[in-house]
Structure 1
């Protein structure tokens, strides 16, 4: 019984550490991707316009 309890405690702590480390990393990645997209957005729109004009 003690061994099962120890394993549950270990996995609980492991999950907690994964959340504490993973969530900030995920937020950093999301904000960086958003900032990069905002910088590239005008260029992407320009490329789309050029592509659409070349199709006509």
Structure 2
């Protein structure tokens, strides 16, 4: 399992809370419904702030 920084964990936690409340939105403005999507958004925000987060997987 990859190690994430504490800041990354906080961002993911915040995104999950927003998802539960129904206020988390995608880049296009649609409501986030999946847990995976909320985690991805949290990690992306942490990455932008320079937190220790592994690179995105390219498929």
TM-score, normalisation: structure 1: 0.33
TM-score, normalisation: structure 2: 0.31
Structure with higher RCO (Cα < 8 A, 6+ apart): 2
Q: Which of these two proteins has the greater Rg computed from alpha carbons?
A: 1
Write 1 or 2 for the structure with the bigger share of helix. Answer: 1
